[in-house]
């Protein structure tokens, strides 16, 4: 199957955008912006675009109707601007040289019943913090009911075993009240009875399909939690299931919505009120497991798959956020074009660092402007990228300051991911020394200082004998003792020639950064009469690049 990617997004007078014209060029997007900066508007623009393929034209045009109650036009745009409001998305297929361009407006509905966009709408995932919080935002007096979030976020993409298109069946049940239809048509009693029976048979089919869907999601969610969030010594079991089935009351002439419960067990003990007993971070882990479990339970093939996340992880600490980042960047979502939106600059920088050398596959952007003027996406440069530009422009002081900020941020993030800080502020030197000690804590200091430090790579293999021939010369050694010594020597050889060297090399990078800190990185050290030299700054830049890699 060919691969499709979003190439360009143009938005005119829609949501928070007066005019956004952004070329993504088929890359993934990581974008930062404060509240009200336009993140959610981009999220809903892409969602509206994909969902429009399954809608009739009036239900798309209503979003662009300036006088309509469901208008999504920018209230700060002029009447002339709103008259030309549109969403235009270009999709590039790797088997074609030109992109397909789809427009949505008051008069255009290019996506209508388009098979590629229909497939993409089923295969893509849109998740916000609001969706996750709806899993547990219940009072202690309330029983958790996930039906509203399932109806909106999961059911449209789910497939049962006995009934494939469960969303279509549910829509039929909601819109085909047998009492209203029978009353209006003047049907005979026997025919009305048959209509009720057919309707209730559809309800039974729906209830069975819903049970099947929830069983599949529970299986995938449990496996997902076990792989990514489980804690040693704590057994967590989770389940989503029908707590109250859908039914129809013939006397009241109304349908009763189903209810979906959320059950959690810790070490085989049932938690009756997860929303009251568990902290928000654990609840978020469980909600993520269910939400991603729903995705994995109902995979759809499509040339275009989007994974769009809006401020998804704000209730998790940095360590747990990075677990989710690793999931997003794993093979699980390798086929998805990822759109990650956040208001947290620290998370933005950490995600960016985790992406590492795959920068050509990603676009790093910052939302700038406001809805009443103009919102646009602007390339966000890292401190090291800024340092390189300053270095090329011979602005050495500015380059050195950017390099220092990068070094501070790297050392601080390494510490946050490893231990809870005990001091409000640590200098760069303190952070670096702490990181060096942390890297070497499993390596005996004397072994490093007296034996391993400074040994050239070409000589490392000779520190421990490569052959065990000499062991057989030990007087009175038994075969079992010979085997044990050979095994221990092999382990020592591995440590000395590979594992320890990684720690040593990383520690040496930190030593080098520490050595250059006083001369280049300390603020004020280059503000007096002692000049900075370009080669010093260039070397500091390369060292901090290495520092980022070794503390990754």
- All domains in the chain, ordered by first residue: 1-124+307-377 (3.40.50), 132-301 (1.20.1050), 383-550 (no CATH)
Q: What is the pLDDT of residues 407-431, one digit of tens each?
A: 887 777 677 666 544 455 677 787 7
Q: Residue 464: how many CA atoms within 13 Å on its side-chain side?
A: 15
Instruction: Strands of 76-123 (E only): list them.
Output: 86-93, 100-105
Q: What is the pLDDT of residues 265-322, one digit of tens each?
A: 999 999 989 989 988 888 999 999 999 999 888 878 899 999 999 987 776 777 778 8
The residues facing 292 across adjacent strands are none
36 phi and psi, to 5 degrees?
80, 10
Check: CB of residue 300 under 8 Å from CB of residue 119. Answer: yes
* β pairing state of 337-342 and 306-310: parallel
Residue partners of 109: CB distance under 8 A and separation at least 6 = 52, 57, 60, 61
In angstroms, the CA 296 to CA 330 distance is 14
In the chain, the percentage of residues whose pLDDT exceeds 90 is 39
More reliable by pLDDT, 448 or 358: 448
Q: What is the pLDDT of residues 141-181, one digit of tens each?
A: 889 999 999 998 898 888 777 787 898 899 899 888 777 66
Kind plus residue range of the DSSP H or E element containing 249: strand 247-249
Q: Which two tokens mark 25?
A: 């060029």
What is the per-residue pLDDT for 551? 65
Kind plus residue range of the DSSP H or E element containing 6: strand 4-14
Does pLDDT of 454 surpass 80?
A: no
Q: What mean pLDDT value characterizes the chain? A: 84
In angstroms, the CA 532 to CA 526 distance is 6
Does pLDDT of 498 surpass 80?
A: no
In angstroms, the CA 372 to CA 77 distance is 8
Q: Is 296 in a helix, a strand, or coil?
A: helix
Q: What is the pLDDT of residues 246-258, one digit of tens each?
A: 999 888 888 999 9
Residue partners of 317: CB distance under 8 A and separation at least 6 = 281
More reliable by pLDDT, 431 or 245: 245
For tokens 């047998």, the residue is 178
- Residue 485 pLDDT level (bands cut at 50, 70, 90): confident
pTM recorded for the entire structure: 0.75
Check: CB of residue 151 under 8 Å from CB of residue 166. Answer: no
Instruction: Strands of 299-419 (E only): list them.
Output: 306-310, 337-342, 362-369, 375-379
What is the per-residue pLDDT for 307? 94
């Amino acid at each position: 199957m060919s691969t499709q990617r979003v190439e360009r997004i143009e938005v005119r007078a829609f949501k928070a955008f007066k005019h956004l014209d952004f070329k993504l060029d088929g890359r993934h997007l990581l974008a930062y912006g404060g509240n009200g900066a336009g993140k959610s508007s981009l999220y809903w623009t892409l969602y509206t675009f994909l969902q429009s393929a399954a809608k009739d034209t009036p239900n798309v045009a209503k979003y662009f109707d300036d006088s309509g109650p469901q208008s999504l036009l920018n209230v700060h745009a002029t009447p002339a601007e709103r008259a030309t409001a549109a969403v235009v998305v270009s999709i590039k297929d790797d088997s074609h040289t030109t992109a397909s361009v789809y427009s949505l407006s008051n008069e255009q509905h290019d996506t209508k019943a388009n098979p590629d966009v229909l497939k993409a709408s089923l295969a893509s995932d849109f998740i916000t913090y609001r969706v996750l919080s709806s899993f547990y935002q219940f009072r202690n007096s309330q029983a958790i009911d996930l039906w509203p979030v399932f109806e909106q976020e999961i059911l449209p993409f789910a497939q049962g075993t006995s009934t494939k298109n469960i969303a279509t069946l549910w829509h039929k049940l909601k819109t085909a009240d047998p009492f209203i239809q029978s009353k209006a048509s003047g049907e005979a009693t026997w025919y009305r009875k048959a209509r009720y029976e057919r309707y209730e048979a559809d309800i039974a089919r729906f209830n069975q399909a819903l049970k099947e869907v929830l069983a599949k999601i529970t299986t995938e969610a449990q496996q997902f939690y076990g792989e990514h969030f489980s804690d040693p010594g704590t057994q967590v079991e989770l389940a989503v299931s029908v707590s109250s089935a859908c039914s129809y009351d013939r006397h009241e002439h109304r349908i009763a919505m189903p209810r979906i419960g959320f059950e959690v067990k810790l070490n085989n003990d049932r938690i009756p009120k997860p929303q009251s007993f568990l902290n928000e971070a654990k609840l978020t882990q469980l909600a993520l497991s269910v939400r991603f479990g729903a995705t994995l339970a109902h995979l759809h093939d499509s040339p275009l798959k989007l994974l769009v996340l809006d401020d998804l992880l704000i209730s998790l600490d940095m360590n747990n956020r990075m677990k989710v980042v690793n999931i997003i960047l794993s093979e699980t979502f390798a086929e998805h074009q990822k759109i990650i939106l956040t208001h947290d600059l620290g998370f933005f920088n950490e995600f960016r660092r985790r992406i590492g050398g795959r920068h050509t596959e990603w676009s790093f952007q910052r939302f700038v402007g406001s809805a009443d003027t103009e919102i646009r996406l602007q390339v966000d440069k890292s401190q090291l990228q800024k340092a390189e530009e300053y270095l090329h422009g011979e602005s050495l002081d500015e380059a050195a300051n950017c390099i220092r900020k990068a070094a501070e941020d790297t050392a601080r993030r390494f510490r946050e991911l490893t231990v809870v800080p005990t001091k409000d502020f640590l200098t760069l030197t303190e952070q670096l020394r702490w990181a060096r000690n942390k890297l070497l804590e499993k390596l005996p200091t004397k072994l490093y200082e007296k034996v391993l430090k400074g040994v050239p790579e070409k000589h490392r293999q000779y520190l421990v004998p490569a052959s065990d021939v000499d062991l057989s010369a030990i007087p009175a050694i038994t075969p079992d003792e010979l085997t044990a010594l050979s095994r221990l020597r092999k382990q020592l050889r591995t440590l000395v020639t590979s594992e320890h060297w990684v720690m040593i090399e990383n520690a040496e990078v930190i030593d080098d950064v520490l050595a250059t800190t006083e001369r280049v990185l300390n603020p004020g050290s280059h503000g007096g009469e002692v000049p900075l030299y370009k080669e010093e700054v260039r070397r500091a830049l390369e060292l901090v690049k290495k520092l980022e890699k070794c503390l990754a």
